Amino acid sequence: ETGVTQTPRHLVMGMTNKKSLKCEQHLGHNAMYWYKQSAKKPLELMFVYNFKEQTENNSVPSRFSPECPNSSHLFLHLHTLQPEDSALYLCASSQDFGGETQYFGPGTRLLVL
Amino acid sequence: GQQLNQSPQSMFIQEGEDVSMNCTSSSIFNTWLWYKQDPGEGPVLLIALYKAGELTSNGRLTAQFGITRKDSFLNISASIPSDVGIYFCAGQQISNFGNEKLTFGTGTRLTIIP
C-alpha cells in the first residue's frame, strides 16, 4: 500500500478520444506530480502542483491538460493523443515541493491506437 | 537537462550473489534516492541519502552518497528472487526556478537466474 492510487490501471484509446487519468493520495501531502515513463527512457517529469497551484510544466504538449482540484486529487485530461504518447503515466506526491522524497502510485498504462 | 548515467543497464545474476550498481553525474546533487520498480507498478522508494559521504542500509540494501555529491551506489547482498525488478537512482537539486527538481537515471534491470 503506497498511499497513492491511480485509476484506471490500463487504458486504450483512439487518437480522437478524450479520457482522464485520476490520482489520489492519502498521505496528507501538499505536492503532486505527473510523470511519463517510456521504454528505455528516464522518467520524464510533466507537471508539478504545490498546494493546488501548478509550479512546473516541462514543455508538455497541450493535448495533456492537468487539473488539481485539491491537495489530494490530481487529474490528467487527455485529448487527440498520438501513438507516441503510449507510455506508463505515473503520479507521485511529496510532503512539500522541495527536499522531500516522492511516493509513487502504480501508474496507468496507456496505449494510443 | 541534467542527466544521470546509471550502470549497468542490466544484470543477470544467480540467487545468493551480491549486486552493485551506481549512478554518476557531471552535476552536484543535494539528495540521492534509490527506487525499485516491479513490473506493472510504480517505483517504490528504497533508500534516501541526504549528506555527502552518507552510508545508509535498509536490510540487505546499502547505498552511499558520493563524497563529491556527483555519484551514488547501491549494493544488494545475498540476492533473492523478489529482488528482481528495475532499480532507479534519482538525484535532487535546486532548479533554475529555485525549486527542488528530481532527475532519474535510466534504470538497472536485475534478473535472477534460479
As a whole number, the mean pLDDT across chain A is 90
**CA distance linking residue B46 with residue B57, whole number of Å:** 10
Q: Which of A101, A108, A111 to mutate to test the interface with B (most CBs of B within 10 A)?
A: A101
pLDDT digits (tens, 9 = 90+) for A58-70: 789 999 999 999 9
The rounded percent of chain A whose pLDDT value lies above 70 is: 96
**CA distance linking residue A32 with residue A49, whole number of Å:** 5
**CA distance linking residue A81 with residue A87, whole number of Å:** 12
Instruction: Give the three-state DSSP class for A85.
Output: helix
A2 and B102 in contact by Cβ < 8 A?
no
Looking at residues B22-42, what average pLDDT do you find? 91
A40 CB within 8 Å of a chain B CB: yes
User: Closest approach of chain A CAs to the CA of B23, in angstroms?
Assistant: 13
Least confident segment among A39-48, A73-82, A88-97, B12-21:
A39-48
Confidence of residue B4 (pLDDT cuts 50, 70, 90): confident
B99 CB within 8 Å of a chain A CB: yes
Task: Kindly give, in sequence order, each residue whose CB lies less than 8 Å from that of residue A51, ignoring residues fewer than 6 positions away.
Answer: A30, A31, A71
Scored b (16 or more CB within 10 A) or e, B41-51 reads bbbebbbbbee
Residue of chain B nearest A2, judged by CA positions: B44
Chain A residues within 8 A of B41 when measuring between CB atoms: 106-107
3-class DSSP string for B17-82: CCEEEEEECCCCCCEEEEEEECCCCCCEEEEEECCCCCEEEECCEEEEECCCCCEEEEEECCCCHH
**pLDDT higher than 80, residue A48:** yes
A56 and B99 in contact by Cβ < 8 A?
yes
Of residues A54 and B26, more confidence is placed in B26
DSSP label of A51: T
A106 CB within 8 Å of a chain B CB: yes
> Phi/psi zone of residue A102: left (φ > 0), alpha (ψ -120 to 50 degrees), beta?
beta
B31 CB within 8 Å of a chain A CB: yes
The rounded percent of chain A whose pLDDT value lies above 90 is: 68
C-alpha cell at B68: 563529491
C-alpha cell at B9: 543497464
Cross-chain CB nearest to A103 (options B4, B45, B90): B45
**pLDDT higher than 80, residue B97:** no
B42 and A102 in contact by Cβ < 8 A?
no
